[in-house]
């Protein structure tokens, strides 16, 4: 009888377990809220707007920190619109060659509520942001104590470099000064000369030379208003968090939970300026967009002109691995997501969404990324570079003609890329339209002819009588990425050139680059802002790796290109500038410091209940424009995720059936 009760309890427990289980990773009471669920793959290094400089961090900081300028949600090419500023300022040339920009801040811009504001007065939970806060942040960008990766880009501001140096010197020389709060140190040094506050809502920025791209930096969180109270209060002492882990800004959302190794929750900022001023350009859904937006449902009358944001909450969960993340997207627990390589064929068939995915009302979005991946030659190399003169140039041209990017994209990216023709991605305004680089169309006969002209007939080096030997330095080559690099080696082998793939660690590679001991490399670059200058500067003399440590790893320095670059970088977009860019591209076409490989095409998926999805390409979250139908989501999730319980009973039954004969045999033998 006792055994019967035990068996009954066991079966009962199994039933309870089977019925009580479900795979919903969120609390049930959240199901009906407009919560956007998204994921992040690694804990953020810093959410300090002076330091945060990657896509993952910007997905959080972009919601917390509003900027003076921002990008139009729908328009392409990318267009700047006023954010916290009343208008996009225009450059005012000064007589001595300097340039001035005047920004006017909207009134009524408040920080999200936070206990840090008690530092400014007992009982305060927020305060109005002023241009003092923007100036404070600009001074922080010059502060050597912060790991600011874009400091160079602000050095055009008059007195910026001097302020940076003064901070280093005074802190080194005067310990009492170094012990002061940073804000007091900045004040003691008189701030940055080119940053002047005319009144709390007017800021004047003076550049010592023209730099039209500066406006793009005012659309990034680097130049957001920062509350000194937050920086000083969140100092990591006495149980308080560090400011890098506790962002406080003027954006549409504020941090509610920040567990960087598990979960980040952002709630609506009740003091967001857009709630009081919904007609501000960045505070309502746009009335106009790019061609095709209306057809794509992005100018739906239900949204146009409506105040932002539409969501109640944004929640990020840590998902380190792609497979669980993708499966949870398919279960409806993430609202949007990418496509993992392993499931690409399941999701996309003949460039379109598979019928299985389409039946789930999942939408596929494609967008060319404003970035480029390229092979590069070290132009200071004796064989391949400038020292080899015309021989080197022809060798580079021949090698460029041999590489089939299209096939590479098909083999290794599931077709998710465009064969690149110039360093400037086609989505960037000012990129040469319809241009086909003659050295990026595969032509092995012409390549062989060029090799003959270069003195390497059939790839044979006359000095050795053997195939010309070159080295392709690739760092951190995994078993997965090795075939991707080997592909290029095999392409060059068709010309008879013997390129050796040398896999090194990241550090060894960097050392080789520092010593100039490399010949060929593979590299990539993503746009900071949508301007050709942000790509062409990668080939300017001033950015040479060998002399300045800059990002020009090809060490390309061409007087004609440089002269054109210097003209182009200070010009506004227009026909004249575009003509110069075409000239620059023509120089690169002949000189071939790079072999342009591809511009990525991002494939993203979104569920049917998520509205207003338009891929942006650059690292600017457009979350405030998104909307969710939570009722539909909850209904669909339930229907997709009903637990399957029969295997519990099947396994238990199989176990019992399996061991009963054993029991019988055993006890019969024992008896």
Partner 1 sequence: MLAFVVRRLLFGVAVVLGVLGILFVLFFQVASPDDIARRALGEKARPDSIEQWKANHGYDRPLWPWQDFEDNLLFHHYSTMLSFDFGASDVDGAPISQRIREGAGPSLALTVPAFAFGLGLAVLLGLFVAFFRETYIDTTGVFLCVLGMSVSILLYIIAGQYLVGKMLRWFPISGFDADPAVLLRFLALPVLISVLSGVGSDVRFYRTVFVEETGRDYVRTARSKGAGEVRVMIRHVLRNSLIPILTRVVLAIPFLFTGSLLLESFFGIPGLGSLTIDAISQNDFATLRVMVFVLSMLFIIGQIATDISYALVDPRVRLE
| DSSP characters over 320-359 | -SHHHHHHHHHTTSSSEEE--GGGHHHHEETTEE-HHHHH
Interface residue with partner 1, options 79, 331, 349, 429 (CB under 8 A): 331
551 binds partner 1 (CB under 8 A): yes
- In 3D space, the residue among 474, 471, 494 whose CA is nearest the CA of residue 482 turns out to be 474
Contact 425, 371 (CB under 8 A): yes
Contact 29, 593 (CB under 8 A): no
549 binds partner 1 (CB under 8 A): yes
**Positions 480 through 539 that interact with partner 1 (CB under 8 A):** 506-507, 510
58-66, 207-215, 495-503, 546-554 -> range binding partner 1 (CB under 8 A): 546-554
Cα separation, 370 vs 291, in Å, equals 19
DSSP 3-state of 496: coil
The least CB distance from residue 265 to partner 1, in Å, is: 11
Residue 192: exposure state from Cβ atoms within 10 A (0-12, 13-18, ≥19) = buried
Contact 403, 444 (CB under 8 A): no
322 binds partner 1 (CB under 8 A): no
110 binds partner 1 (CB under 8 A): no
Interface residue with partner 1, options 34, 45, 75, 98 (CB under 8 A): 45
Using the minimum distance from each CB to partner 1, give the nearer residue, 239 or 462. 239
Using the minimum distance from each CB to partner 1, give the nearer residue, 55 or 466. 55
Using the minimum distance from each CB to partner 1, give the nearer residue, 147 or 590. 147
321 binds partner 1 (CB under 8 A): yes
Binding track over 189-208 against partner 1, x by CB under 8 A? --------------------
43 binds partner 1 (CB under 8 A): yes
175 binds partner 1 (CB under 8 A): no
**Positions 222 through 241 that interact with partner 1 (CB under 8 A):** 236
Interface residue with partner 1, options 259, 345, 361, 572 (CB under 8 A): 259
63-71, 255-263, 271-279, 579-587 -> range binding partner 1 (CB under 8 A): 255-263
CA distance to 157, 237, 294, 376, 445, per residue, from 555 (Å)? 27, 45, 46, 10, 29
The least CB distance from residue 670 to partner 1, in Å, is: 7
**Other Cβ atoms closer than 10 A to 131:** 24
84-92, 325-333, 347-355, 491-499 -> range binding partner 1 (CB under 8 A): 325-333
The least CB distance from residue 46 to partner 1, in Å, is: 6
If you ran DSSP here, which 8-state letter would residue 544 be given?
B
320 binds partner 1 (CB under 8 A): yes
Interface size with partner 1, residues (CB under 8 A): 59
Give the tokens for residue 327. 């499966």
Interface residue with partner 1, options 263, 306, 341, 352 (CB under 8 A): 263
544 binds partner 1 (CB under 8 A): no
Which contiguous run of DSSP H or E holds residue 482? helix 482-493
**Positions 114 through 173 that interact with partner 1 (CB under 8 A):** 144-145, 147-149, 151-152
Using the minimum distance from each CB to partner 1, give the nearer residue, 317 or 396. 317
Sign, Cα dihedral of 92, 94, 98, 104: negative
Give the tokens for residue 525. 């670059």
Cα separation, 208 vs 215, in Å, equals 15
58 binds partner 1 (CB under 8 A): no
Interface residue with partner 1, options 8, 11, 25, 125 (CB under 8 A): 25
Percentages helix, strand, coil for the chain (3-state, rounded to 5) are 40, 20, 40
Interface residue with partner 1, options 93, 324, 457, 483 (CB under 8 A): 324
The least CB distance from residue 50 to partner 1, in Å, is: 13
The least CB distance from residue 671 to partner 1, in Å, is: 11
Interface residue with partner 1, options 647, 649, 655, 656 (CB under 8 A): 647
| Non-local CB neighbours of 558 within 8 Å, separated by 6+ positions | 587, 591
22 binds partner 1 (CB under 8 A): yes
DSSP 3-state of 606: strand
Residue that is written with structure tokens 């880009």 in the block: 153
563 binds partner 1 (CB under 8 A): no
Which contiguous run of DSSP H or E holds residue 447? helix 444-454
Cα separation, 523 vs 670, in Å, equals 74
Give the tokens for residue 437. 């680089």
576 binds partner 1 (CB under 8 A): no
| Non-local CB neighbours of 145 within 8 Å, separated by 6+ positions | 167, 182
Cα separation, 65 vs 269, in Å, equals 11
Contact 308, 625 (CB under 8 A): yes
Using the minimum distance from each CB to partner 1, give the nearer residue, 94 or 651. 651
27 binds partner 1 (CB under 8 A): yes
Using the minimum distance from each CB to partner 1, give the nearer residue, 81 or 636. 636
The least CB distance from residue 340 to partner 1, in Å, is: 12
DSSP 3-state of 399: helix
Give the tokens for residue 513. 């680059």
Name the residues that contact partner 1, by CB under 8 A: 18, 21-25, 27, 42-46, 144-145, 147-149, 151-152, 236, 242, 244-245, 259-263, 317-321, 323-325, 327-328, 330-331, 333, 506-507, 510, 548-551, 641-644, 647, 658-659, 662, 665-666, 670
């Amino acid at each position: 009888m006792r055994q019967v009760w035990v068996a009954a309890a066991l079966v009962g427990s199994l039933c309870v377990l089977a019925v009580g289980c479900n795979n919903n990773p969120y609390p049930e009471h959240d199901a009906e809220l407009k919560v956007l669920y998204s994921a992040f793959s690694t804990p953020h290094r810093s959410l300090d707007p002076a330091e945060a400089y990657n896509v993952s961090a910007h997905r959080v900081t972009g919601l917390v920190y509003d900027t003076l300028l921002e990008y139009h949600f729908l328009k392409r090419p990318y267009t700047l619109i006023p954010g916290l500023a009343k208008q996009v300022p225009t450059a005012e040339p000064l007589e001595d060659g300097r340039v001035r920009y005047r920004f006017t801040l909207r009134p009524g811009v408040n920080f999200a509520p936070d206990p840090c504001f008690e530092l400014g007065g007992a009982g305060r939970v927020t305060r109005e942001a002023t241009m003092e806060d923007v100036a404070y942040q600009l001074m922080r960008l010059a502060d050597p104590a912060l790991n600011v990766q874009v400091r160079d880009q602000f050095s055009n501001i008059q007195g910026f470099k001097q302020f940076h140096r003064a901070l280093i010197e005074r802190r080194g020389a005067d310990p009492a000064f170094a012990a002061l709060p940073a804000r007091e140190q900045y004040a003691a040094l008189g701030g940055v000369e080119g940053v002047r506050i005319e009144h709390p809502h007017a800021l004047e920025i003076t550049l010592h030379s023209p730099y039209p791209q500066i406006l793009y930096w005012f659309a990034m969180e680097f130049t957001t208003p920062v509350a000194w109270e937050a920086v000083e209060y969140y100092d990591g002492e006495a149980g308080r968090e560090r400011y890098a882990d506790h962002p406080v800004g003027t954006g549409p959302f504020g941090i509610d939970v920040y567990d960087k190794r598990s979960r980040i929750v952002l709630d609506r900022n009740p003091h967001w300026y857009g709630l009081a001023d919904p007609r501000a350009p960045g505070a309502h859904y746009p009335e106009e967009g790019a061609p095709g937006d209306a057809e794509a449902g992005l100018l739906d009358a239900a949204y146009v002109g409506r105040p932002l944001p539409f969501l109640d909450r944004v929640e990020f969960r840590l998902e380190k691995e792609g497979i669980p993340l993708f499966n949870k997207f398919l279960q409806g627990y993430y609202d949007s997501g990418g496509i993992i390589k392993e499931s690409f064929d399941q999701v996309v068939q003949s460039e379109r969404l598979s019928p299985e995915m389409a039946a789930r009302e999942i939408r596929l979005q494609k967008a060319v990324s404003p970035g480029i991946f390229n092979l590069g030659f070290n132009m200071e190399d004796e064989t391949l570079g400038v020292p080899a003169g015309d021989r080197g140039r022809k060798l580079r041209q021949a090698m460029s003609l041999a590489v089939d990017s299209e096939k590479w994209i098909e083999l290794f990216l599931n077709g998710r890329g465009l064969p690149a023709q110039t360093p400037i991605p086609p989505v960037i305004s000012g990129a040469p339209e319809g241009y086909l680089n003659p050295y990026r169309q595969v032509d092995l006969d012409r390549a062989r002819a060029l090799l003959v002209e270069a003195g390497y007939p059939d790839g044979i080096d006359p000095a050795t009588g053997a195939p010309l030997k070159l080295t392709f330095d690739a760092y951190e080559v995994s078993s997965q990425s090795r075939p991707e690099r080997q592909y290029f080696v095999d392409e060059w082998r068709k010309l008879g050139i013997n390129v050796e793939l040398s896999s090194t660690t990241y550090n060894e590679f960097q050392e080789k680059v520092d010593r100039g001991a490399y010949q060929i490399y593979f590299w990539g670059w993503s746009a900071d802002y949508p301007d050709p200058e942000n790509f062409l500067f990668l080939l300017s003399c001033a950015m040479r790796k060998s002399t300045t440590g800059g990002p020009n790893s090809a060490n390309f320095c061409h007087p004609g290109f440089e002269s054109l670059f210097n003209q182009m970088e200070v010009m506004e977009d227009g026909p004249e500038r575009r003509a110069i860019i075409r000239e620059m591209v023509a120089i690169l076409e002949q000189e071939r410091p790079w072999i342009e490989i591809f511009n990525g095409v991002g494939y993203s998926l979104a569920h049917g209940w998520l509205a207003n999805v338009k891929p942006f390409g650059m690292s600017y979250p457009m979350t405030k424009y998104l909307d969710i139908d939570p009722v539909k989501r909850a209904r669909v999730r339930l229907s997709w995720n009903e637990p399957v319980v029969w295997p519990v009973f099947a396994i238990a039954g199989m176990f019992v059936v399996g061991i009963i004969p054993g029991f019988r045999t055993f006890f019969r033998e024992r008896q």
